[in-house]
Amino acid sequence: MRQLPAPTGNDSPSRTGPATIRGVSLPEITFLAPTAGIVAASVSVPILVLFYFLKLRRRPLRVSSTLLWESAVRDLQVNTPFRWIRFSWLLLLQLLLLALLILALARPALDLPAPSAGRVIILVDCSASMAARDVAPDAVRGAGDRITRLEEAKRKALDLVDRLSTGPAGEPAEAMVIAFADRPRTVINFTRDRGALRNAIQAIEQTDQPDRLGAALKVVEAFVARPGMDDSAAAAPAPRVVLISDGGMASASPEEAADTGPPAALGDARVEFLRAGPAPLSPVRNLGIVALSAKRDYDDPAVVRVFARVQSTLPEEAHVSLALGFRGNVIETKPLVVPGAGDHPGEVSHTFELNTAEGGPATVALLGTGAAGDALASDNICATVLQAPRSLRLLLVSRAGEPSDADYALIDALETLGPRELRRVNAAEYERRAGELLAQCDLVVFDRVRPSSLPTAPSISFGATLPIPGLSVLPRETADGSSTTEFVYWQRAHPVMRYVSLAGVLVTNPMILSLPEETSARPPPGAADGPLHATVLASGADGPLIALAEQGVIRRIIVAFELAATNWWRNPSFPIFLANAVDYLALQADQNAGVAYTTIQSISVRTKPGATSVVAEAPGVPTKIAEAGPDGRATLGVLDRAGLYSVTGAAETDTWVAVNLLSPRESGIAVSDTVPIGGRSAHAGTGGLIAPREIWGWLVMAALALLAVEWFVFARSIRM
């Protein structure tokens, strides 16, 4: 008997090589629950044998002759205690029947030999649903609390490494390990070192990200493709791809499935799927917060409305509580009754009202989930960092000279926004003091001025362009030297153009606005990292007139005409547009009073003066350290664990960072025995060459057949 390796610890299991006949490997037999079989045998076998030792109590009876009682005498001798048991077909059949049942109870499994040595790629799912603690312990792992699906997946991966086949020369197969959630990560490249493979598997860490199997398969595609291979390579065994997961990706929406593009081309690679988690037909039990938002009231900015939606996969309704906290204090607790799941998970939502004019971290926690058997903890609490309503510091950069009526209209419109400070400088002064001025403002407005370098703050440009490759605002040449156009299209649903009517607005001598392609331009020095996205907000008859350029968290609006060349500044829609633009660019859009990230978003924070690095810490998750850049920001990257992080070394507004799961699919912790892999379907259990195949069901069926034979023999002996 041999037990499977435990999910923890570094000791390899004791095992012997498979038996062979004429070079053909024979399957080994593994007992998955040997203790149960030993206990059953030690109790049941002696009891059965004892029945054949018992002497029956008989009533004495006088007879005239024993001639007709010879069979009774023989039966009396058989039941004499402490006498050797004579041969009995019934006893033999009963012992065989009992042996079959005992073996079935010990859960025997055939450890089939793997095929000849080749390359094996092991994909281990470490997405959020794999943290569900709903895998029951068994005799292999010993008694104890339930373990997570990732622990089960790592146990199966370790067992797979132990079962790697060997080639004719005795060399072990090569294997590599890829852990994936939203993005794949190569844990260890191809190696024959089983110890290194085991250490790499044990080092895989849990994440709170949704899974994207397609992205991981794109990495696998590069390893299984064998273009232009020679005859020796063609004769080599096809690579094997082994996915170890709970199969939750099978419930992904078509939009999520298409997010990674066309399916990966896996060629002739053999794809196998090992399920980690409970059986698909067993109910999954989880309660979690799947949506969170915070909005400040229009009329009273001191009122914040915090909305949360709770999802339940429990078959019955659950009685829980939802608690709102602010700055570490519980503000309000609301009892909730979450309906049970039917064809879809049960849902209930609630909106809290928080009266505060201050900023700080706000949390929404789900209480009382333990009694309901909640399996996933990472979605029981969410957070957002409320931004205090603040007056902006605006910088207006204009040409030198006497201001026109349009210039005064721009100044008046900016002052009506109630900024903390509105500083006005000309182009020459701005170029001399750009670093100092930008450090003291939240938004820059360029009026017919093109800066020599891209500002690090959001900006609005009227009648001029910005130093972004591919972006240009050029005068339009006409035969008579002048032209007039009207707005024919604008995005009314965009936050910048909300409530803005451009009907009747005339533009004289509009300029030609050319926008860069998203992937053609590299960010200039000092600009935010990431691709540049350009959006046309409004167009005239001859092309775009207002556009939005976004790069990372920095947004910029370009207006392709001078204010003096239009009647827009006389129109009531102009101050509305300016207010929308300032709110949108300064990240004070009306729909969000709090800042929160998901576990797949990249995060950057402002650093306080003099800080060279920042340190992000949250309870129970690894610490993240990031160096400060020359632009005064530090990029933390993607924080794949949910939590409320305190950031040391960050500016006052960025000392807290909230990261949440907020994924209805991951909180649904669905389990499936069928997953789509590379354009094909893989079924759990097709990895019979990897995992032991249990045969206890066949033993039970044999025991039932033997029971029928035993009954027939017994009935025949009675008639005789």
Q: In one letter, which amino acid is 564?
A: A
CA distance linking residue 638 with residue 181, whole number of Å: 12
Cα gap 414→422, rounded to integer Å: 8
Residues 6+ apart with CB under 8 A from 309: 289, 290, 291, 292, 347, 348, 349
Q: How far apart are CA 167 and CA 174, in angstroms?
A: 10
Residue 719: Cβ within 10 Å count: 5
Torsion angles phi and psi, residue 669, rounded to 5: 35, 45
Q: In this structure, what DSSP letter does residue 281 have?
A: T
Structure tokens of 32? 């998955």
The pLDDT of residue 187 is 95
Q: Which pLDDT does position 515 carry in this prediction? A: 83
Distance between CA atoms of residues 651 and 633, nearest Å:
9
Write out pLDDT tens, residues 322-358. 999 999 999 999 999 999 998 899 999 999 999 886 7
Any idea of the CA torsion for 189, 191, 197, 199, to the nearest 10 degrees?
-80
Total residue length of the chain: 720
In whole angstroms, what is the distance from residue 633 CA to residue 325 CA?
Answer: 29
**Cα 124 from Cα 243, distance rounded (Å):** 6
Q: Which amino acid is present at 173?
A: A
From CA 127, how far away is CA 437, in angstroms rounded? 45
Question: Can you tell me which residue has the tokens 């998901």?
Answer: 598
The pair of three-digit structure tokens given for residue 513, joined into one six-digit string? 């606005």
Query: The pTM is what?
Result: 0.60
pLDDT of residue 471: 83
Please tell me the predicted confidence (pLDDT) of residue 186.
94
- Find the helix or strand (DSSP H, E) in which 156 lies: helix 149-162
β-sheet bridge partners, residue 197: none
Of 650, 653, 621, the closest CA to residue 385 belongs to 653
Q: What is the dihedral of CA 142, 146, 150, 152, to 10 degrees?
A: 30
Number of H helices, E strands in the chain: 14, 38
Give the chain's domains with CATH numbers: 32-109+699-719 (no CATH), 113-282+671-691 (3.40.50.410), 285-387+593-668 (2.60.40.10), 393-585 (3.40.50)
- CB atoms under 10 Å from CB of 49, counted, come to 13
Specify burial of residue 314 (Cβ count, 10 A radius: 0-12, 13-18, 19+). buried
Contacts 24+ apart (CB under 8 A), 563-567: 563/406, 563/407, 563/409, 563/410, 563/447, 563/462, 563/463, 564/404, 564/405, 564/406, 564/407, 565/463, 565/507, 565/508, 565/509, 565/510, 566/406, 566/505, 566/506, 566/507, 566/508, 567/505, 567/506
C-alpha–C-alpha distance, residues 273 and 270, integer Å: 10
Angstrom distances, CA of residue 302 to CA of 238, 366, 389, 560:
65, 25, 8, 37
Strands 543-551 vs 554-559: parallel, antiparallel or unpaired = antiparallel
According to DSSP, the β-strands at 393-398 and 443-447 are parallel
Q: What is the pLDDT of residue 227?
A: 52
- Burial class (CB within 10 angstroms; exposed 0-12, middle 13-18, buried 19+) of 679: exposed
Q: How far apart are CA 546 and CA 578, in angstroms?
A: 12
Please state, in angstroms and rounded to a whole number, the distance separating the CA atoms of residues 81 and 263: 74
pLDDT reported for residue 184: 94
What is the spatial distance between Cα 119 and Cα 173, in angstroms, rounded to a whole number? 6
Instruction: Please tell me the distance from the alpha carbon of residue 641 to that of residue 656, in angstroms, as a whole number.
Output: 15
Among 259, 366, 376, 317, which residue's Cα sits nearest to residue 670? 376
**Number of other residues whose CB lies within 10 A of the CB of residue 115:** 14
pLDDT tens sequence across 638-669: 999 999 999 999 998 899 999 999 999 999 99
Which of 361, 418, 393, 388 minimizes the C-alpha distance to 301? 388
- Position 641 scores a pLDDT of 95
Q: Among 432, 444, 430, 423, which residue's Cα sits nearest to residue 400?
A: 430
Query: How far separated are the first and last CA of the chain, in Å rounded?
Result: 43
CA distance 675 to 683: 7
Q: Are 172 and 160 in contact (CB under 8 A)?
A: no
Average pLDDT, the chain: 81
The C-alpha atoms of residue 499 and residue 579 are separated, in whole angstroms, by 11
Closest among 413, 460, 465 to 441, alpha carbons compared: 460
pLDDT means per 10 residues in the chain (720 residues)? 40 43 58 79 79 61 65 57 62 81 80 62 95 76 74 92 66 88 94 93 95 90 66 61 90 69 73 88 91 76 85 94 94 94 92 86 93 90 85 88 88 88 92 90 92 90 87 69 82 86 88 72 48 86 88 85 91 90 67 85 92 93 92 92 95 93 94 82 61 72 83 72
Interatomic CA distance for residues 549 and 373, integer angstroms? 48
